Chains A and B, each alone.
Chain A
């Protein structure tokens, strides 16, 4: 765990201030000369000369299993720290932020959708979506001042994601996988974060569902002006995106080593 935590010199503890100026920032995410190695392993898992995601941009990142896609997302999330190189999220150099500042940056500016099990099973759909606001006053404020305004925002998001309003009070465990993934999108989008990261969100959906899900995700990200980094090994999904990046092209480290 040391490579993640020790490198984080707690120099800058005010990431939220920069976030409000995010509108004027050209690059949502920018990596240069980033190297990362899992503690147990000798050779680096990631070695990326350069990779950037402009604000509002949508990028499809693909690569075979084990090529380090999820690892890269953990780095961008500030949960892991690179052992060398520069990794900037909304113009914040992550390595120079303290651990809690990185947590705050993630809470304020990034929404996540994972492959599956995105929801906490014992919470209702409404509560699961509101979870994204619990650790971020900034996103809570953006989603609407009072709790009623927020509930209305949740309802709006769920409706635009084609979810029956009656589902709101159900617990997450009662939803189908496809419904769960759409609720996860609502959570990633609420409070308008600048960046949405999706890690194979469609791989547990059938083809028809995949198509519908992709359309909804792209539409909502566009409406929120969020940059989208979409990760998958399924190349058929690439057609939804303007730019496709192969892990093999940006990662100089030998995959699977």
Chain B
């Protein structure tokens, strides 16, 4: 058998150009397939990681997915705001261990700005319950003195190259309108967070009072004409928050989740929604699942095209190899050896293609991974294939073997018809 394998290797090497191109096609297809799978599972992991420590998300009445996306992933905007009174009422519920008010809407160079309380940095959990850690500096103080202090995520610090004590300017909304910067009230960076692989990395954190302060002279998304309140002067105003965007809730006991959820959903003063993050995520994946499966199916088709190409190339080369097969027959190879030879060849090309595909994926993760993570928050780190990927690789290999048996079968019938004297 090893003898046969050696012959298969030499024979394949002799036709390395065509087989190499075929292997390259298989490699690209494998990269695509695994890339899609990795992005898919990576997205799921990142999303699940971002809400791992939160028991409930509360906001104005909206669909659970919308609330989840807006409050945790800073995607889209919540339907409406909720009042500070409601926040206090829910925070005071006996089953609630902690709660974090969230106020968003502004941005800094495309990064979302989140108004919250200093406790955020102690309470928020990601991954398998990991707390946030400061890479440098400290949390914003939350006092009037530290009104214009900001903490930035690793990505915010990394890409524009901000350092501690740098001054940054917030923009109203997503920064898409001209002349809508809060340039009269610059913020000082007092803390930089460690990387988490969650939307925290892309967030600028300020106090709730700061959000009020920068919007003092604003109404309805536009600055009031002729009104200008200097930064220092803003401290004299009432900066207590009146409305927030949403709140994260931690419970003393997770078993109380449904009870608190009902309490919020039946809230009398205003229409609110409480969302169990896991349930909302499931709902999100159901929506996204169709697209995911379509992408995977397209990638699988690309793999099938690559493997069909393999079968075609090997089949096309067979006629020129009838002499070779007859020689092998004359020295004692049986038809089963001929089938094995061809099957081994196809399998080797498939394996080579898959290996190259994995290398390509690793190279992609190394070179493009950081950019993708920065832009989409998708961690495509260099890693060994995980469970689902092994299954895909196995399927590619199995299909490759099936695709190689086809020329093997053709060679079998050729060698039976030819015997030792091929007719060309």
Residue A104, interface by CB 8 Å: yes
Tell whether A79 pairs with B329 under 8 Å between CB atoms, given A73-B420, A74-B419, A199-B421. yes
Give the Cβ gap from B329 to chain A, nearest Cβ, in Å.
6
A2 to B, closest residue via Cβ? B416
In the complex the two chains form, what is the Cα distance from A112 to B326 in whole Å? 11
Contact partner of B336 (CB less than 8 A), chosen from A100, A107, A118, A127, is A100
Residues of B within 8 A of A187 (CB): 331
Inter-chain contact A1/B417, CB cutoff 8 Å: yes
Inter-chain contact B331/A134, CB cutoff 8 Å: yes
Residue B282, interface by CB 8 Å: no
Residues of A within 8 A of B11 (CB): 120, 122
Contact partner of A114 (CB less than 8 A), chosen from B4, B13, B335, B420, is B420
Residues of A within 8 A of B328 (CB): 120, 131
Inter-chain contact A103/B332, CB cutoff 8 Å: yes
In the complex the two chains form, what is the Cα distance from A187 to B13 in whole Å? 23
Residue B3, interface by CB 8 Å: yes
Assign chain B's interface to a size class: 20 to 34
Contact partner of A135 (CB less than 8 A), chosen from B332, B416, B420, is B332
Residues of B within 8 A of A199 (CB): 421
In the complex the two chains form, what is the Cα distance from A99 to B213 in whole Å? 92
Inter-chain contact B10/A122, CB cutoff 8 Å: yes
Tell whether A79 pairs with B420 under 8 Å between CB atoms, given A120-B324, A120-B327. yes
Chain A 112-152 against B: per-residue CB contact (8 Å), 1 yes, 0 no? 10100111111100010001101110000000000000000
B14, B327, B413: which has the most chain A beta carbons within 10 Å?
B327
Inter-chain contact B331/A132, CB cutoff 8 Å: yes
Residue A108, interface by CB 8 Å: yes
Give the Cβ gap from A5 to chain B, nearest Cβ, in Å.
7
Tell whether A4 pairs with B416 under 8 Å between CB atoms, given A114-B421, A122-B10, A135-B337. yes
Inter-chain contact B416/A5, CB cutoff 8 Å: yes
In the complex the two chains form, what is the Cα distance from A77 to B13 in whole Å? 30
Inter-chain contact B327/A118, CB cutoff 8 Å: yes
Inter-chain contact B420/A74, CB cutoff 8 Å: yes
Residue B129, interface by CB 8 Å: no
Residues of B bordering A, CB below 8 Å: 3-4, 7, 10-11, 13-14, 323-324, 327-337, 413, 416-417, 419-421
Additional 11 contacts, C-beta under 8 A, given A120-B327, A199-B421: A1-B416, A103-B333, A107-B332, A108-B332, A112-B331, A112-B420, A114-B420, A122-B11, A127-B10, A135-B332, A136-B331
Residues of A bordering B, CB below 8 Å: 1, 4-5, 70, 73-74, 77, 79-80, 99-100, 103-104, 106-108, 112, 114, 117-123, 127, 131-132, 134-136, 187, 199
